[in-house]
């Protein structure tokens, strides 16, 4: 069983990777959302530079943001810097698309892109946009003709899972854990909740702020149709209040305000909403707080469902305390 963590691409990446490695994590991933964050490939380069062992990757790459040959060139460059330590997970896009006012990519696009990327990394010629392309090597180029980098596919529904089976080296699954599909040699599942420090209350300032990030995120997911719909927002505490204030914003630029701060900080609108409904925020924090025993039970459950890697511990804004609490509770190191 491997343990990983994931963060937004920010200037803190090198320190986050160093801390994660020192605590015994096997993997650290970074989001690909250029409207909000630093460039994911430059971020990964800094994370690789600051570490020796831990594997580093995209979590997850949004293919349309760069051409296939640009993505392949970036992967090849980083592979040269740290052979065997780079991984690439790809998805259709949530904030990476929606913060730009776009819907997620189609699975037909994803399957075509994965095939093109594999061919380029294998040193093959491939037709892209009506022209044959290839990573052309010079005689002095130290890179091998073919570059073997694991390509994971992030998918929750039947189409994504099917593409992962046909085209991927593993699945990143964020659906309901009890519905995690079988048949994958590599299955990445998330661990939900925040590890408590010794003697810490579920409503401590640290836990409240960590919970605030995820508490408000669930409204974004419903609003954009990722894990529900706008019509279902009333299933969340005070969902109609959240929606009513969002709908007061100009429709043309509304997506910019909704996704502002996504997984980097809580924006002013969401902070005001979560303070206005502090009862719901504190209830969410209590539900999300995990004792070492509860965390261990969740790990065992995910292992029983076929997980080969568990992603957890990325509590914001105090990410280092979050990683240390998770590592201690999970017995890493």
CATH 3.20.20.30, the chain: domain bounds: 2-196+291-330
Contact yes or no for 85/56 (Cβ under 8 A)? yes
For residue 142, pLDDT beyond 90 = no
Rounded CA-CA distance 108/82 in Å is: 32
For residue 266, how far is the Cα from the chain centroid?
17
Q: To which residue do tokens 């408000």 refer?
A: 216
In the prediction, which pLDDT does 139 show?
80
The pTM (predicted TM-score) of the whole model is: 0.94
What average pLDDT does the segment 108-113 reach? 97
Q: How far apart are CA 152 and CA 187, in angstroms?
A: 9
2-196+291-330 maps to CATH 3.90.1150.10: no
pLDDT of 101 reads 84
Mean per-residue pLDDT, 235-246: 94
Q: How far is CA 296 from the centre of its chain?
A: 22
pLDDT at 167: 95
- How far is residue 302 from each of residues 3, 64, 140, 184, 195, measured CA to CA in Å? 12, 32, 47, 14, 16
**The pLDDT of residue 145 is above 80:** no
Residues 100-125 have a mean pLDDT of: 94
Contact 70, 61 (CB under 8 A): no
pLDDT tens digits, 173-209: 998 888 999 999 999 999 999 999 999 999 999 999 9
For the record, the structure tokens of 16 come out as 């986050």
pLDDT (mean) for 111-122 = 97
């Amino acid at each position: 069983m491997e343990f990983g963590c994931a963060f937004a691409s920010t200037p803190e990446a090198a320190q986050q990777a160093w801390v994660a490695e020192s605590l015994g994590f096997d993997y650290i991933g970074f989001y690909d959302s250029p409207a909000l964050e630093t460039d994911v490939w430059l971020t990964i380069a800094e994370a690789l530079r600051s570490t020796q062992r831990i594997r580093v990757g995209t979590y997850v790459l949004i293919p349309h943001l760069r051409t296939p040959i640009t993505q392949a060139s970036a992967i090849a460059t980083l592979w040269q810097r740290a052979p065997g330590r780079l991984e690439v997970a790809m998805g259709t896009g949530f904030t990476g698309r929606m913060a730009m006012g776009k819907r997620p990519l189609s699975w037909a696009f994803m399957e075509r892109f994965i095939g093109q990327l594999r061919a380029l990394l294998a040193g093959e010629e491939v037709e892209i946009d009506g022209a044959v392309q290839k990573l052309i090597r010079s005689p002095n180029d130290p890179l091998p003709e073919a570059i073997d980098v694991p390509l994971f596919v992030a998918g929750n529904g039947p189409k994504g899972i099917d593409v992962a089976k046909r085209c991927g080296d593993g699945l990143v699954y964020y659906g309901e854990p009890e519905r995690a599909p079988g048949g994958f040699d590599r299955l990445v599942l998330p661990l939900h909740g925040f590890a408590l420090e010794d003697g810490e209350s579920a409503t401590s300032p640290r836990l409240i702020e960590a919970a605030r990030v995820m508490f408000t995120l669930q409204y974004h997911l419903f609003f954009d149709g990722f894990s529900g719909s706008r019509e279902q927002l009333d299933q969340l505490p005070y969902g109609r209040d959240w929606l009513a204030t969002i709908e007061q914003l100009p429709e043309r630029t509304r997506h910019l305000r909704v996704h502002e701060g996504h997984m980097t900080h809580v924006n002013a609108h969401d902070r005001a909403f979560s303070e206005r409904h502090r009862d719901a925020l504190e209830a969410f924090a209590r539900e999300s707080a995990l004792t070492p025993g509860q965390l261990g039970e969740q790990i065992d459950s995910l292992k029983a469902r076929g997980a080969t890697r568990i992603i957890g511990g990325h509590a914001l804004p105090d990410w280092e305390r979050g990683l240390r609490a998770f590592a201690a509770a999970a017995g890493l190191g």
